[in-house]
Amino acid sequence: MIYADNAATTRISDAALNTFITLSRDTYGNASSLYTVGQRAKEALEQARADIASVIHAEPREILFTSGGSEADNQAIRSAAVLGLSKGKKHIISSAFEHHAVLHTLNKLEKEGFSVTLLPVHEDGLVRPEELEDAIREDTCLVTIMYANNEIGTIQPIRELGAVCRKHGVIFHTDAVQAIGHIPVDVEADNIDMLSASAHKFHGPKGVGFLYAKKGIRLTNLIEGGAQERGKRAGTENIPGIAAMATALKEAIASLSERAEYVAARRDRLIAGLSAIPHSALNGDATKRLPSNVNFCFEGIEGESLLLLLDDRGIMASSGSACTSGSLDPSHVLLAIGRVHDVAHGSLRLSLGDDITDDEVDYIIKNVSEVVTYLRGFSPIWRDLTAGKKPFIL
């Protein structure tokens, strides 16, 4: 079995699971309580906050714990919108291929009177800093651009984008859910004002994440209630989850560069192997991408049937086809980089684990190649393409 869907979620690490179990079993107190087991829980919470802050070069008080990346994205954008509104600024800039946690929040704000500019991401899956600069207006209150894309893995020029925002005094938020724990992220060096992260993408538990918000940025609550998280996020803290997230993140950071180098070499082997399949194309820039991410389009086939047959062969992956999303449209990410519908339906995302081997990569190449050939064998589109009735797109 090869689990190649680590961009969807990862298996919790043994160390993170141990932290989770220990805190659930032994340090079960409520951090708001005065007695010892409560205060121990409070200490674990603040230790996790300090550990996470130091990893991204922030201060502990700048870290707010959330239920995950989506909540962090929602709160970051809402907060910046409220701040903007107080100064009469109602323009937000983002990119065309953000996560839906960002895009849907922006849609809601548009209905509330904000105007939103979505920057193009071009064929290479990258936002251009000069295009950001051109888009900034007097009334721009927020720029939100993801660190690395969840489908095609392209890594944005975050530091340059952040510098443009600094120059114009605009708050810069980045959804770093796919990046944290996999590539170096430093909020100070990268000029980031707000950042969202999710534990289960770096071998932490599900249902926990954090929002970094630079000192001085006033957050708006999504959840009202108790005084937890400096009054900005009510609800008894998920301390086992938060502490396990800190364990997982420290672990990921300790081995980051050697892991990234190892996985990227397997990624490139996989890209080279899949490129040999006729009428296929890699989605997104070949080098400015996450070490684990491979995303291809194969002409003449549909992604869901590819996934099901790969699952039969022990390979777990994902696709941006409409059939896997439950809608009629294929992935907005693939459409944003200029893939037409016909081709976008035939996409495959493989997001490799840290322990992927060369043999497993070769097994994936062989099986993807066989399944694509098999499906093309009875695809009416492929028949028309090979008969010259329609021109190949890829």
| Active-site residue set | 323
**Cβ of residue 121: shortest distance to another protein, in angstroms?**
21
Site for another protein contains 342 (CB under 8 A): yes
In Å, what is the CA distance from 141 to each residue of 33, 86, 135, 298, 347?
Answer: 39, 10, 12, 40, 36
Site for another protein contains 304 (CB under 8 A): yes
- Between the CA atoms of 21, 26, 27 and 30, what dihedral angle is there, to the nearest 10 degrees? 100
Site for another protein contains 312 (CB under 8 A): yes
219 close to 208: Cβ distance less than 8 angstroms:
no
Of the pair 268, 342, the CB lying nearest another protein is at 342
**Closest by CA position to 341, among listed 325, 359, 317:** 325
Alpha-carbon span 211 to 216, nearest angstrom: 14
**Contact window for another protein (CB under 8 A) among 24-32, 70-78, 294-302, 361-369:** 294-302
367 close to 310: Cβ distance less than 8 angstroms:
yes
**What residue has token string 């674990």?**
44
Number of residues that bind another protein (CB under 8 A): 26
**Cβ of residue 6: shortest distance to another protein, in angstroms?**
19
Site for another protein contains 305 (CB under 8 A): yes
Of the pair 52, 368, the CB lying nearest another protein is at 368
Buried/exposed code over 5-36 (b: 16+ C-beta within 10 A; e: otherwise)? bbbeebebbeebbebbeebeeebebebeeeee
**Cβ of residue 375: shortest distance to another protein, in angstroms?**
8
**What residue has token string 């060096």?**
189
Of the pair 282, 323, the CB lying nearest another protein is at 323
354-383 positions binding another protein, by CB under 8 A: 378-383
Q: Interior CA angle at 139 toward 114 and 96, to 5°? A: 55
Q: What is the DSSP string of 51-66?
A: HHHHHHT--GGGEEEE
Residue 219 belongs to what H/E stretch? none
Of the pair 22, 367, the CB lying nearest another protein is at 367
Of the pair 203, 279, the CB lying nearest another protein is at 279
**Cβ of residue 392: shortest distance to another protein, in angstroms?**
13
Q: Where are the beta strands (DSSP E) in 271-380?
A: 280-282, 293-298, 315-316, 347-351
**Contact window for another protein (CB under 8 A) among 42-50, 141-149, 247-255, 296-304:** 296-304
Of the pair 191, 379, the CB lying nearest another protein is at 379
Question: Which of 227, 328, 359, 388 is in the footprint of another protein by CB under 8 A?
Answer: 328
Question: Which of 142, 322, 350, 365 is in the footprint of another protein by CB under 8 A?
Answer: 322
**Cβ of residue 221: shortest distance to another protein, in angstroms?**
35
Q: Which residues bind another protein (CB under 8 A)?
A: 300-305, 308-309, 311-312, 321-324, 326, 328, 330, 341-342, 345, 378-383
